Every structure is written in structure tokens, then in C-alpha cells.
């Protein structure tokens, strides 16, 4: 295992005495940062008053850190703080690092007037070595029905964590599934009701909007980014097909009318085995309450886990314009968390076989790309499809490093902007990359002659020494068509003597 992957980034923060300031709340998109710092030692809690000038959906922005905590270190993976609004449980905050991370949480619909936020160091769900948590930059935002983005917040789901042990949870997906090593570790949190404090923790939420056949109606789809998936597609296949090992899944979908009201019977969830199931569970106001019930983070109607996650779904993403991984790019610390969990769970091996189907090398050895492409001609089917593989050549090196290795099924089939990752030799820097090419791959079944049109490379970066993305060095609006007769095309060639 790479020692660098286990290293906590940022200086440790000394435990301090409790300091509480008064929060402020604003209406609309403008947030007024409260001059507040809350340091909670194990077993402590603290309350702060705040006011809302108008009724609406209230968001809490804050920066978190936990001294001595690192997501890659067994026994000190996180510190968990539970938040309550007016003595009602709102959300857990899993703090995975000693360095500062900005978070945005949803506190639900609140009436105008005075309220109280209570923060409690959740000793029952925090790993044993976590001693304190620090919350700074605390700010409240109220989004009213007159504000842009209100409807997306008003219908956003609340997720409860996974409680079923691996032996009964079920992978609920396809591919080579196996339970996380944390599930069998000698850890009281592993595989239990608080397992999301150390594995598959929700990191981000976002939504997308699309018009429906009825004028003025919109379809809202909500998605969550988890730190990993303990069952489902194998780790190397995830890197090849998705360009990350986090799990990004849609959770809830609902159609709303022009006034923002949910259309009865339109709400659905992504249930086990990636099925679409009508939602018949309970609501808190307009917020559906879902439960995470499989090892690959599919949803069930009736939550049985005690951990609760209400992440802000403010960010809007158009899946036709951007890959979902762009949400991770906007919050680069998520790549660090991803890498730390991989290392801790034994999925990283610098001495692995070159085409291992179970292990990857240090995530800092990979080139992370987004490719925009489309399939033209005979449409892909489940049993017969063509996809795309990315090949990278380095200066002074005759080998071509391929995203899908030697496995056709690891090629990229989908036609939305798609992320992938290519494993390169340790120590590779962007300037070493001489060419990037695309190759048409028959993924399954009979080759029916479909062509693949490539429009661009949307971004390309390596992770820095600290496990977070470096600046993308490439946007190439390269046009290429891949066919049976000409299956490979060069998308990028570094100029001789250039940088």
C-alpha cells in the first residue's frame, strides 16, 4: 500500500476550548457568514441561535476539520457531528480529514423567525481515535419560494445511511461485487448501523432538470456522490469506465408543474438492482425520506439506518452538457477521500499484475479524462455494442497505455460526456504525454458497423502529491470518426519542443 495515500494532508489542529458565535441568516442567494467557531471535544455539544427573515429552505455552509483524523487510517477515519434544528435531527456531518473542507448542508423548510442549531459530537458513530471536531465559516442561507433554485431544494431527498451488514445487504448491482474489507475488520462500526462513518459515505449531492411533454412541467432528478461502493463493479473497471471509484447514483426523481407542485404518482427512486420503483414512502414537508439499502448504494422506501444525510442539492448539472464527475472536479477534496478509502480497503497494490481485475495502482498514477463522443449508425444494445478506449503514449516510450487495458467490456459505451482514467507509470507528469488517441472497441456481440464520433477531450489532469486534481492541461475540440476500417484516431499530439 502506498504510504503517501495513508498520509493525512494538512497540519493537525490542536483541540481548543468551546467558542460559539451568533449565526446570521439571509434571504435569497446572498449568504452572510456568521463570525462563529465551534470546537467540540468528544461528548460535547453546543447550540447557537440564528434567525430567518422569511420562510424557506435553509442551507448551512460551513468548513470542517478534525484533528488527527484521516479517512485512510483505520480507527480514525472520521469524526461525526450530528446537527439538530430546534431539537429536530437534521443531518450528520462526516468529517474525514484534519485539513479544512467546505461543506453545504440542507436544514429543511423553516418558518421565519428565531431558531437554534445544536451541534453534537456523535461519539456513538465516530471512530474511537477521533477526539474533536472544528466547525468554522458558519453561514446560513434561506432560499424563498421567490428565489431561483427554490423548487429544486424543496423536493430534494433526505438519505438515511446503510445499516444492513454485508452478509444481508446484497450488492444489488452487476459486475464483480465484493464486500469492503472494512466489513470484516475488527471495528465496531464496520458493517453495522454506523458504517457510513467509515465506508461509502455521502460526499455531495446535486440535481438536474429537464422539460417534460407537458408545457411548464419539469423533471427533477437528484444524485449523490458516495466515497466508494462496497459492492458492484470492480475497482479497475470503475477507473476504466467511469474515471473514478466514487459511486455516483441518481436517487430520486419527480415531475413538478409550473407552480412547483409535485405531480401525484410521478415520484420514483433507484431501487436495488438499479430498478426504477414508484416512491411510496414518507415525506418531511416536500422532502422524501429514503434509505440506503445495498452495497452499491441503491435506495429503499423505509429507512432502517440511524445515520442521516441532508446534503445541499443546489448545484445543477446538465448531463447532456457535462459529465457527472464535474461535481467532483468542483470539490477536489473528494478525490483525496476516494484515494484514501481505496488504500485503506486494500484495493491499491503497487506490485499488482498489469491487467489486474481487482487492484489498481496509486490513483496518482492515472490520467483522468472526459471524452465527448456519440455512436452513429446501428444503435448499441445490451448484447451488442461498440465503445471507445483511450490510449496514451509517453515521450521516449513505445508502449500505449489503454484505459480499458485488455478488456473489451471496460470500454466506454455511453454517449453522454464520459470520464475515464488511464494508468501510467509512477512519476509521470503532463509534459511526458506525447499523444492521446481514441480507439473503437467491439465491447460485446457482433460488430454491426456503427461509427463513433469524437467531438473533444473536455479535460485531462493528474492528481498532485496531495491526492487532489492538478489543473487540467488540455481542452481539445478534436473531431474524429472511428469506424471498422479506421478504428483509431489521434486526438492530441504534443508539439515538438512544446509544453
Task: Tell me the CA distances in angstroms from 162 to 157, 169, 290, 306, 447, one per residue in order.
Answer: 15, 9, 11, 8, 41
C-alpha grid cell, residue 111: 418558518
Q: pLDDT tens, 79-104?
A: 999 999 999 999 999 999 999 999 99
Q: pLDDT tens, 351-377?
A: 999 999 999 999 999 999 999 999 999
* Average pLDDT of the segment spanning 129-153: 97
Distance CA 481, CA 451 (A): 7
* Average pLDDT of the segment spanning 452-480: 95
Three-state SS annotation for 360-387: ECCHHHEEEEEEEEEEECCCCCCCCEEE
Where in 122-274 does DSSP place strands (E)?
Answer: 132-143, 158-160, 202-211, 218-226, 247-256, 268-271
> What's residue 92's pLDDT?
98
Q: How many CB atoms lie within 10 A of CB 113?
A: 10
pLDDT above 60 (res 24): no
Q: pLDDT tens, 3-13?
A: 444 433 333 32
CB 81 within 8 A of CB 197: no
* Average pLDDT of the segment spanning 313-328: 97
Local confidence band at 167 (pLDDT 50, 70, 90 cut-offs): low
CATH H superfamily, domain 3-148: Galactose-binding domain-like (2.60.120.260)
The pLDDT mean for the chain works out to 90
Q: Which backbone phi and psi does 167 adopt, to 5 degrees? A: -65, -20
Q: Give the residue from 57, 55, 54, 60 showing the smallest Cα distance to 31.
A: 60
Q: Which residues, listed in sequence order, are joined to residue 83 by a DSSP beta bridge? A: 91, 119
> What's residue 191's pLDDT?
87
Q: pLDDT tens, 171-208?
A: 443 333 333 333 444 577 888 999 999 999 999 999 99
- Is the pLDDT higher at 170 or at 174? 170
> Positive or negative, the Cα torsion across 268, 325, 29, 313?
positive
C-alpha grid cell, residue 493: 499530439
Q: Give the residue from 258, 294, 255, 298 showing the smallest Cα distance to 275.
A: 298
> What's residue 188's pLDDT?
74
The residue whose grid cell reads 496518482 is 364
This prediction's pTM: 0.91
Where in 175-274 does DSSP place strands (E)?
Answer: 202-211, 218-226, 247-256, 268-271
Q: pLDDT tens, 484-494?
A: 999 999 999 99
When mean pLDDT is compared across 12-21, 28-37, 238-247, the lowest value belongs to 12-21
pLDDT above 80 (res 166): no
Q: How much of the chain, in percent, has pLDDT values that exceed 90?
A: 84
The domain locations on the chain are 3-148, 152-309, 363-493
Q: pLDDT tens, 220-232?
A: 999 999 999 999 8
Judged on CB neighbours under 10 Å (0-12, 13-18, 19+), 59 is buried
* Average pLDDT of the segment spanning 135-150: 96
> What's residue 3's pLDDT?
40
Q: Give the residue from 456, 347, 448, 439 showing the smallest Cα distance to 392.
A: 439
Distance CA 80, CA 139 (A): 19
Q: pLDDT tens, 50-70?
A: 999 999 999 999 999 999 999
When mean pLDDT is compared across 140-149, 170-179, 391-400, the lowest value belongs to 170-179
> What's residue 190's pLDDT?
86
> What's residue 165's pLDDT?
74
CB 395 within 8 A of CB 374: no
Contacts of 186 (CB under 8 A, 6+ apart): none
* Average pLDDT of the segment spanning 113-125: 97
CB 420 within 8 A of CB 412: yes
Where in 165-233 does DSSP place strands (E)?
Answer: 202-211, 218-226
Distance CA 8, CA 2 (A): 13
> What's residue 34's pLDDT?
56
User: Helix H segments across 252-402?
Assistant: 326-330, 333-344
Distance CA 317, CA 142 (A): 21
Where in 231-365 does DSSP place strands (E)?
Answer: 247-256, 268-271, 275-278, 283-284, 287-292, 299-300, 308-309
CATH 3.40.190.10 fits 363-493, yes or no: no
* Average pLDDT of the segment spanning 383-410: 97
pLDDT above 70 (res 160): yes
Amino acid at each position: 500500500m502506498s504510504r503517501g495515500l495513508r498520509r493525512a494532508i494538512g497540519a493537525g489542529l490542536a483541540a481548543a476550548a468551546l467558542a460559539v458565535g451568533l449565526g446570521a441568516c439571509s434571504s435569497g442567494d446572498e449568504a452572510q457568514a456568521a463570525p462563529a467557531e465551534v470546537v467540540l471535544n468528544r461528548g460535547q455539544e453546543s447550540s447557537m441561535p440564528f434567525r430567518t427573515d422569511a420562510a424557506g429552505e435553509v442551507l448551512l455552509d460551513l468548513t470542517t476539520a478534525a484533528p488527527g483524523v484521516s479517512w485512510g487510517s483505520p480507527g480514525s477515519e472520521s469524526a461525526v457531528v450530528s446537527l439538530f434544528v430546534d431539537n429536530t435531527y437534521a443531518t450528520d456531518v462526516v468529517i474525514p480529514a484534519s485539513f479544512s473542507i467546505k461543506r453545504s448542508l440542507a436544514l429543511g423548510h423553516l418558518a421565519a423567525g428565531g431558531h437554534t442549531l445544536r451541534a453534537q459530537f456523535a461519539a456513538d458513530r465516530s471512530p474511537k481515535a477521533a477526539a474533536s471536531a472544528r466547525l468554522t465559516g458558519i453561514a446560513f442561507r434561506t432560499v424563498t419560494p421567490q428565489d431561483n433554485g427554490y423548487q429544486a431544494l424543496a423536493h430534494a431527498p433526505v438519505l438515511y445511511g446503510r445499516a444492513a451488514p454485508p452478509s444481508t445487504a446484497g450488492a444489488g448491482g452487476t459486475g464483480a461485487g465484493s464486500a469492503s474489507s472494512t466489513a470484516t475488520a475488527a471495528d465496531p462500526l464496520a458493517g453495522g448501523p454506523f458504517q457510513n462513518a467509515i465506508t461509502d459515505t455521502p460526499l455531495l449531492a446535486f440535481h438536474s432538470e429537464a422539460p417534460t411533454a407537458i408545457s411548464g412541467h419539469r423533471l427533477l432528478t437528484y444524485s449523490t456522490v458516495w466515497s466508494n461502493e462496497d459492492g458492484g463493479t470492480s475497482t479497475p473497471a470503475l477507473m476504466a469506465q467511469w474515471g473514478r471509484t466514487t459511486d455516483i447514483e441518481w436517487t430520486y426523481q419527480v415531475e413538478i408543474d409550473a407552480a412547483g407542485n409535485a405531480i401525484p404518482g410521478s415520484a420514483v427512486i433507484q431501487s436495488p438492482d438499479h430498478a426504477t420503483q414508484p416512491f411510496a414512502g414518507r415525506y418531511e414537508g416536500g422532502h422524501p425520506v429514503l434509505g440506503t439499502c445495498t452495497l452499491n448504494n441503491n435506495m429503499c422506501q423505509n429507512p432502517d439506518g440511524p445515520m442521516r444525510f441532508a446534503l445541499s442539492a443546489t448545484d445543477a448539472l446538465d448531463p447532456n452538457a457535462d459529465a457527472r464527475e464535474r461535481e467532483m472536479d468542483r470539490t477536489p477534496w473528494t478525490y483525496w477521500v476516494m484515494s484514501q478509502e481505496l488504500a485503506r480497503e486494500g484495493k491499491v497494490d503497487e506490485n499488482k499484475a498489469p491487467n489486474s481485475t481487482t487492484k489498481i495502482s496509486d490513483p496518482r498514477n492515472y490520467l483522468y479524462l472526459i471524452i465527448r463522443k456519440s455512436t452513429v449508425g446501428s444503435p448499441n444494445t445490451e448484447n451488442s455494442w461498440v465503445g471507445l478506449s483511450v490510449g496514451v503514449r509517453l515521450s521516449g516510450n513505445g508502449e500505449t497505455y489503454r484505459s480499458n487495458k485488455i478488456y473489451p467490456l471496460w470500454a466506454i459505451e455511453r454517449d453522454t460526456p464520459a470520464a475515464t482514467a488511464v494508468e501510467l507509470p509512477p512519476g509521470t507528469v503532463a509534459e511526458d504525454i506525447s499523444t492521446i488517441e481514441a480507439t473503437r472497441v467491439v465491447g460485446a456481440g457482433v460488430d454491426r458497423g456503427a461509427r463513433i464520433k469524437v467531438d473533444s477531450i473536455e479535460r485531462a489532469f493528474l492528481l498532485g502529491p496531495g491526492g487532489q486534481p492538478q489543473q487540467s492541461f488540455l481542452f481539445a475540440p478534436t473531431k474524429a470518426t472511428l469506424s471498422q476500417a479506421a478504428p483509431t484516431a489521434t486526438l492530441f499530439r504534443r508539439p515538438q519542443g512544446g509544453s
